Every structure is written in C-alpha cells, then in structure tokens.
Homo-oligomer: A and B are copies of this chain.
Amino acid sequence: MAKKPTIIWTKVDEAPALATYSLYPIMKNFVKHAGVELEQRDISLAGRILAQFGYQPDDLAYLGELVWKPEANIVKLPNISASVPQLIEAIKELQSQGYDLPDYPENPQTEEEKEIKAKYDKCVGSVVNPVLRQGNSDRRIAPPVKNYAKKHPHKMRDVSPKSESYVAYMKSGDFYEHEKSVTIKKDGKIRYEFVDKDGNVQVLKEIEVGMGDVIDGTFMSRRKLKEFFEEVINDAKDKDILFSLHVKATMMKVSDPAIFGDAIRVYYKKLFEKHGKELEEIGFDPNKGLIDLENKLSKLSPEKQEEIKKTLEEIYKEQPRLYMVDSDRGITNLHRPNDVIIDASIPAVIKNGLQGWGPSGETDDCVITVPDRSYATMYSEIVEDIKVRGQFDPTKVGTVQNIGLMAMKAEEYGSHDKTFFPPADGKIRIVDEEGNVLMEHEVEKDDIYRSCHTKDIAIRDWVKLAVNRAKETGLPIVFWLDSLRAHDRQLIEKVKEELNKYDLEGVEYYIKPPREAMKFTLERFRKGLDTISVTGNVLRDYLTDLFPIIEVGTSARALSIVPLIAGGGLFETGAGGSAPKHVQQFVKEGHLRWDSLGEFLAFVEALKLAYKQAGSENERILVMAETLSKAVERYLDNDKTPKRKVGQLDTRGSHYWLARYWAEELAAQTKDAELAKIFEPVAAKLIENEEKILSEIAATEGSPKDIGGYYHPDDEKATAAMRPSKTFNEIIDNL
C-alpha cells in the first residue's frame, strides 16, 4: 500500500459546526478501517480571529498552502462570511470566554489601532473561498440524490401553451455587442485609460497580466439600456402581464446595480419627472433599489412625502404590474437589487409554470427581462422549449453536469475592479507597457465599461478537467462558446489547442453558442440522456442552479467540487449557508434540523479522491465510498432527513441512520470480506439498539442546550449536546 491519504474536515460556524460534533467521529472511525485519516482544520470566524492574535495556529493559511499541493483533499463546510457587526459580536464573545482580544477599532487613530484593524479586517467578508478555491468547478447531482428525485419528484407546475411569458433582451448596445478580446503575448502590465474628447488621458487602473491570459473589454450603452426597458415595460403593459428583471447584483456588484437602477429610472420615470429636485435633495440612489427611497423619504416634509406616495400609486396604476418578491409585504422586484438573483429566480419562474407572483399575490405570465444577450438567449431557449414541449418531468429528464471556468477570478465574476463608469463621452482603452493600444471603445458618459481577465492556466486546467470528466463518464461534453463573440473566440482557440494535446479516443465533444448548446442539451435532457456542460464562470453559476432545480428541486443538493489546479480536491457543501436560525432553535429547544446530506455526498467524493491519491491501489477506500453512497440513497428513500419541529427526527438521529445504513452496506458488500466482517457486528448492534439510541436522543429534545458560545462553542459542552446517546457513542467510539 502506498501513502496514507488524509482528508481535511473543516471546522466552521453555526449549524454545520454543531452537526460536525456528531458526524465527525462517525466518519473518522468508519474510514480509519480503510487507512484514511481525517483531520479537522479550523476556518470558523472565531478560529480565524484567534489565529490572527496567536491563540491558535493559522489553519486557513495552512490550507492556503495545502491547496497548491497534490495531496490536498478538503471537505469544506459552509462558514460565515462575516459582516462587521458579526465580527464585533464574535470578538465580544471571545473576550467573555477569557481571550485577551482588543476591541475592533472602527476608526483607528494610532498605528497600533491600525494594525489591529488590519488583522480583524482579514476576518471580514468572503475571505475563505478566494484562498481555497484554487481550481475550476465540477458540479453535478450525485446518483443517490438523482435517484431519489426520480422516485419522489418535486412539483413542477404545468405550462399553458398560451403562456405569454418570454425572455426579453436588448437588440443592441449591450455587453454582448461591444466585446473585444485579446490574448496577451507576454508577461507584463496593462493599464486602463479614459481619454476625453480633448485627448486628456486619465489612467483608471493598472494590472499585471501573464502570457496567454485573455483580456476582454466591453460596455453597455445606458442610453440603449433605457430605451430597451421602455420598450419591454410597454410590452408587459400591452400584454397585461408582469414585468420582471433578473440580474446578479450580489456577484456583479458594480455593473448590475447600475442596470437595476436604470430599470427604476424608466419604470418610475414619472417620479423623477415630478419630484426630481426632492429626490436629489434626499440623495435617493436608484441603484440601491426603491428601498433607498423609502429609507430616505422621512427627510422630506409630510406634504412632500404624501405627494411622492401619490405619484407612486399613480405609477403602479399606469405601469405594468411588477413581479413581486413578497406580495404580502409589498416587496417588489425593484425593491432591492439583491432580492431577485437571476440564477435562482429564473428557475423559480420555470418551476412555477413560467409564471411569477403579482402585486395581489396572483400568479401570472411575465416578461423575464435579462438585458444582456451574452447569456439571456439560453434562458430564452429553455423558456420557449417549455412553451412548446411542456413542463419538464423530473422522473424522466436526464442530468446536466457542469465543468465551469472558475479559477483565479475568471471572466465577468472577476471584473468588479475593472468596471468603470466613464466620467464623460470619450474612449476607454487598454494599453500595454510599450504603449500599444490593445483595444479601445467609444463610450458615452456613464456607460458601464467592464473588463475581464482570464488566466491562461485556468483555461487550460478547465479543458483538462472537461476531458477527464468525459473519459470518466463517457458523456458528451459541450463547450458553451460562441464563435461570434470575441472572448469566446479566444477561448475556442485555446480549447482546440488543448484538445489536440489529449488522446480524445471516446471523447464526444461539441462547441456551441449558448442558445444552441441549450437546445442540444435539452434535446438529450428530455430523452433522459445526460450531458456535461463546459462553460465560463457566469454560465457555471446559472446552469448549476438551473438544472439541479429542475432535476431535484433545489441546487443545495448538488455536489460542488473544486478539482484543484495542483491536483488535489476541494469538496464544498451547503449552498444553503450556515443557517443561524437552526442554531437558535437548537439552543432554545434542543432540536437541530441541519441536513448533513451535503457532507455525506462530499465525503463520498473525497474518498474517491483519497483512493486516487493513495495510488489507486487501496480498493477498500472505494468500497467505503460506494457503500456510503448506497447508504445515502437509503437515507433519502426512507426519508431520514431531519425534520423541522422539536420531537421529530433531528440531525443527531439522522446521523444514526446514516451510520447504520453505511454499516449495513459495508457488512453486506462482497468485494472486501475482511471489511464486511468488521462491520457485521457494528451493523447488528446498530439495528438492535435502534429504539434505545433514538429514544436517548429524543429524550434531550424540548429543553434548552448550553453549547458554551455561539461563535466559539465549548467543545465539551457542544459534544455533550450533539452526542447524547451513550449507546450510539459506544458503538462508534469502539469501532
């Protein structure tokens, strides 16, 4: 046998951290029989703080190095991306636990304070993913989840053949139209310059680029964007259907709020015409949504406020009905830019029979507005497909997996720091160190200019990944690339170059623009055939919600793997976040409803990688993976997921079932008789003690639990709360 593989299990925050107290011992003690080590590393908010001030090793830094080594094998549970208020709360808690930590200096004065703030700031926001995600993305539905969905399909509402819903996109003037792209010829720097009509040059930014990197520039015309909104809003009105806008302001933090703001400027045009002066006075920023007006309205006199409210009412009468986020509370699509997130919201419309909810809580057809054509057309294709062929049937459709170009802030999702609003009419150009103009765009004041930087190594790794998946699965891979789009044209060239390097025996690949790729994929999908989509970063994000939601009702149950560029693997879980409400419920009434399904599935994949890392010789690791996968299928089939209410099955009980099914499967398998022998008595004991174990757990339901801290629980207290069954613990600990 070769080297002993180690799987890192991340210690995180809130509900998944609590679940870990119960699950980790099970996982660790099962797989040690296959020679696999498990090791915890702390990336929790509290852990990161303590590491900054020397109370414990800096595990995140350790992992940051590990991910660049081939032996990396990390199960990453969801952690807190802390806001400043959360950080302050965490510091207070740690101080109360006796750690000598300074307060957070919001306005640092001294050098020392500045240093302290700098340390704390390393704990704020999304600081873990950028460190760990050193690879592209491999997302798919694990077989047990797919099988479960086929047997227990979720509801997909029928679609009327008369549906008037459709995806609206711009005729011209969008990012799609204006894109230019170059492949960098040598390492160096490039700079972005704005040149005004008089030839004055202003450097907007300078960045480092490497040979082979792809640099794009493009812009959206605000003038044409507004004309488009005007047209689409009128069309929704003519048809008397809902108007909806779908953007990704959470991710495209600079460009999409501006697009969102323009929708407000057009839909509420009358408001700006009648009350422009007052709106300016109070500093209403449409890019922040109508909520910003509501928040600032009190700055005006009661009379003015009344006038504005009256105008709003008039607008709602005159304009088409808006798609609602929450019609009970009057929250519209245009309330907040982050409320309607395209990758989740369009699948929701699809699930709902191509309808949205209107102001009176009614469901109705809607114009699904996605201004830019780069990706809108594929949504148009699926919506139209449903209109003519009917709603998807989860019991019959195939699966669509995704290999996404995500590494190193690829494409649009890394463009925030290169998104500019020209201060006047003029040009934005990209210039290299020798002064060569790589590209330039004529822009008008306030247009949205955006540049993407995609690293050569990331692109090549992505192609490799796609080929590997094709070989592993025998499925066709489809590169969603449009040869008439500048960026995609650069990528197609690289894809072809890379493909030439591989033995493509048995690899069926296609290169198709998004609309056609969708058409091709749907044709297979409806026949129950499986397909791998190979896409850029945005489509990765969109498709890995879209298809899982159609197939299994949610994207939270999809596997999210980051095959690291250096050869290791990162297995992410918990698209649903770290669930603070679950912790509150557990502390209050001793019932935890975190479903560890994502962790189970990720662990199957981690084991498969461990098998490879150990030289593909230790078949016992594969047996572990296969039996766990079967156990998960039974777990789902028998509905052993945690329930919502106290007294029902909770996380802890669900872990019992998982352990039991796994042990049973290990005992029943015939590939490794020795292993079966080890687990036969374990399975027997687990079966025998079912009632006892479950009642020992149930006995603790209904009463408050002390876990010794919210951000930094006390390990002993938390372990006690999460492992309440002596009988179960003994079986596990003696494995």
A501 contacts chain B at the CB level, 8 A cutoff: no
Give min CB distance, A510 to chain B, whole Å.
7
Interface residues of A in 469-491 (CB under 8 A from B): 483-484, 489
> Does chain B have a CB within 8 A of A620?
no
Q: How far is the CA of A519 from the CA of B239 in the complex (A)?
A: 21
| Contact of B172 with A384 in the complex, beta carbons under 8 Å | no
**CB of A231 within 8 A of chain B?**
yes
In the assembled complex, the Cα of A238 lies from the Cα of B511 at a distance in Å of 13
Q: Contact mask A387-425 → B, CB, 8 Å, 1/0?
A: 111000000000000000000000000000000000000
CA distance A516 to B384 in the complex (A): 7
For A232, what are the chain B residues with a Cβ–Cβ distance below 8 Å?
Answer: 484
User: A212 to chain B: which residues have CB within 8 Å?
Assistant: none
Least CB distance, A477 to chain B, in whole angstroms:
13
A171 partner, pick from B176, B483, B519, beta carbons under 8 A: B176
Specify which chain B residues have a CB less than 8 angstroms from the CB of A520 in the assembled complex. 387-388
Measured between alpha carbons, how far is A686 from B387 in the docked complex, in Å? 55
Q: Which residues of chain B are near A515, meaning CB under 8 Å?
A: 384
Inter-chain CA distance A492–B388, complex, in Å, is 21
Contact, CB under 8 Å: A519 / B168: no
Of B231, B373, B384, B489, which is within 8 A of A519 by CB?
Answer: B384
Instruction: Let me know if A389 and B523 touch, CB within 8 A.
Output: yes
Which of A483, A510, A519 gathers the greatest number of chain B CB atoms within 10 Å?
A483
| B483 close to A239 (CB less than 8 A) | yes
Interface assignment of A53: CB less than 8 Å from any CB of chain B: no
Q: Mark A498-524, 1 if CB is under 8 A from B, else 0.
A: 000000000000100001100110010
Contact between A235 and B484, CB atoms less than 8 A apart: yes
Per the bound structure, the CA–CA distance linking A551 and B322 in Å amounts to 45
Whether A387 contacts B484 by the Cβ 8 Å rule is no
What's the Cα separation between A520 and B177 when bound, in Å? 28
Instruction: Please indicate the chain B residues that have their CB under 8 angstroms from the CB of A231 in the complex.
Output: 484
Total identical chains: 2
A177 touches B172 (CB 8 A): yes
Whether A162 is near chain B, meaning CB under 8 Å from some CB there, is yes
Kindly identify, within residues 225 to 240 of chain A, every residue whose CB is under 8 Å from any CB belonging to chain B: 231-232, 235, 238-239
Other-chain contact of A172, B166, B173, B238, B510 (Cβ < 8 Å): B173
Q: Which of A171, A177, A231, A519 has the most CB of B within 10 A?
A: A171
Q: Do A523 and B483 touch (CB < 8 A)?
A: no
Closest residue of B by beta carbon distance from A168 = B484
Do A177 and B171 touch (CB < 8 A)? yes
**Would you call B171 and A516 a contact (CB within 8 A)?**
no
Encode A168-199 as 1/0 by CB contact (under 8 A) with B.
10011100110000000000000000000000
Given A177-B172, A510-B162; A483-B238 close (CB under 8 Å): yes
CA distance A508 to B162 in the complex (A): 10
Which chain B positions have C-beta within 8 A of A162? 510
- What does the 1/0 interface line of A228-264 toward B look like (CB < 8 Å)? 0001100100110000000000000000000000000
Cross-chain contact A483 with B235 (CB below 8 angstroms): yes
CB contacts (< 8 Å) of A492 on chain B: these are 238
Instruction: Chain B residues near A176: list those with CB within 8 A.
Output: 171
Q: How far is the CA of A384 from the CA of B515 in the complex (A)?
A: 9
| Chain B hits for A523, CB < 8 A | 388-389
Residues of B within 8 A of A166 (CB): 516
- Report the separation of the CA atoms of residues A523 and B177 in the bound assembly, to the nearest whole angstrom: 31
Nearest-neighbour CB distance to chain B for A291, whole angstroms, equals 30
A398 to chain B, nearest CB (A): 14
Across the interface, name the chain B residue whose C-beta is closest to A510: B162
Give the distance in Å from the alpha carbon of A559 to the alpha carbon of B385 in the complex: 32
- Which of A239, A489, A519 is most buried by chain B, counting CB atoms within 10 A of its CB? A519
Tell me if A171 and B168 are in contact (CB < 8 A).
Answer: no
What residue in chain B is nearest A228 (Cβ atoms)? B484
CA distance A492 to B239 in the complex (A): 11
Chain B, Cβ-Cβ closest to A170: B172
Residues on B with C-beta less than 8 A from A168 are: 484
C-alpha gap A523/B523 in the complex (Å):
12
Assess the B387–A516 pair: CB atoms within 8 A: yes
Name the distance in Å between A531's Cβ and chain B's nearest Cβ: 11
Contacts of A235 in B (CB 8 A): 483-484
Compute how far the CA of A483 lies from the CA of B484 in the bound complex, rounded to whole angstroms.
26
Residue of B with least CB distance to A239 = B483
Q: Report chain B residues within 8 Å CB of A388.
A: 519-520, 523
Q: Which residue of B lies closest to A522 (CB)?
A: B388
Minimum CB–CB distance from A516 to chain B (whole Å) comes to 5
Question: Mask for A536-547, Cβ within 8 A of B = 1, else 0?
Answer: 000000000000
Q: What is the CA–CA distance of A385 and B172 in the complex, to the nearest angstrom?
A: 25
- Smallest beta-carbon distance A528→chain B, Å: 15
In the complex, which residue of chain B has the Cβ closest to the Cβ of A388?
A: B523
What are 5 of the A-B contact pairs (CB < 8 Å)? A172-B172, A238-B492, A385-B519, A387-B516, A388-B519
For the A-B complex with A168-B484, A235-B483, A235-B484 known, give 13 more contacts whose Cβ atoms are closer than 8 Å.
Answer: A166-B516, A171-B177, A171-B373, A171-B484, A172-B177, A231-B484, A238-B489, A239-B483, A384-B515, A384-B519, A387-B516, A388-B519, A389-B523
> 7 closest Cβ contacts across the A-B interface?
A172-B172, A388-B523, A171-B177, A388-B520, A172-B177, A235-B483, A384-B516
